[in-house]
Amino acid sequence: MKERTRDRLSVVADTHEIANLQGRYMYYLEAHRYREVLALFARNDPDVSVEIGEGGVYVGRAKVEAMFLHVLKPFFTLPGMMPLHMLTTPVIEVEPGALRAQGMWQTLGCNSFPTESGLKAVWQQGAYDNLYVKEEGRWRILRMRWLANFRTSFDKGWVEEPLHHLAPLDLDRFPPEHRPDLPASGAFESYDPMAVRQRAPLPPEPAPDQESRHLPPYLAG
């Protein structure tokens, strides 16, 4: 009984730490604290990666740093930019051994982006589909994947404009060391007003030996 209780408390503690880790990422990004953002990512695993929207996959610590410091930072620090996203409906599952975990959140973003005609107010909706690793006793992000469901001008809506293109982030203009290593994974489909969505994001499943200690939803956030 004592061992089972310790096991359940460990899952609660790990889940809480991962939820805080993901929340801190959002706050640090909005505050332009990019060094603090990078401190949340795995330092020792060569498979650490970031994929944001259609921007491709950056693999390895050096490329993750390049993406945040040389691609996103110059874009997000333009006057009037607002990269505000809210995290909802978390599902966090810690794998047996408590060294790896998976997490998924839906997000809704109130954003403003520069265009040739001035600032544009944009709604964004998507999902984080992330992997986490425990390094030196602390949880860190191993794979960050945010895929857009829709990105639409504030006044048009997702039916008329389901996936607005962010021209300032055209990656061909960046040097090779600041470009992604792989194309976007296409892990699930963005919204298409002319189609029935076939590949929506699915949350991680609990491991068979964890089902009996599965956390209630209110403890996952």
For residue range 166-183, list pLDDT tens digits in order: 765 677 788 989 999 999
- Residue 210 covered by a domain: no
Q: How confident is the model at residue 218 (pLDDT cuts 50, 70, 90)?
A: very low
Higher-pLDDT residue of 119, 144: 144
CATH of the domain at 78: 3.10.450.50
Residue 99 has pLDDT above 50, yes or no: yes
Q: Three-class SS string for the chain?
A: CHHHHHHHHHHHHHHHHHHHHHHHHHHHHHCCCHHHHHHCECCCCCCCEEEECCCCEEECHHHHHHHHHHHHHHHHCCCCCEEEEEEEEEEEEECCCCCEEEEEEEEEEEEEEEECCEEEEEEEEEEEEEEEEEECCEEEEEEEEEEEEEEEECCCCCCCCCECCCHHHCHHHCCHHHCCCECCCCCCCCCCCCCCCCCCCCCCCCCHHHHHHCCCHHHCC
- Residue 152 covered by a domain: yes
- Residue 109 covered by a domain: yes
Residue 118 has pLDDT above 50, yes or no: yes
- Residue 214 covered by a domain: no
- Residue 215 covered by a domain: no
Mean pLDDT of 96-120: 91
Q: What's the total number of domains in the chain?
A: 1
Q: How confident is the model at residue 110 (pLDDT cuts 50, 70, 90)?
A: very high
- Residue 43 covered by a domain: yes
Domain around 118: 2-204
Paired residues of 185 in beta bridges = none
Q: What is the pLDDT of residue 185?
A: 93
- Residue 39 covered by a domain: yes
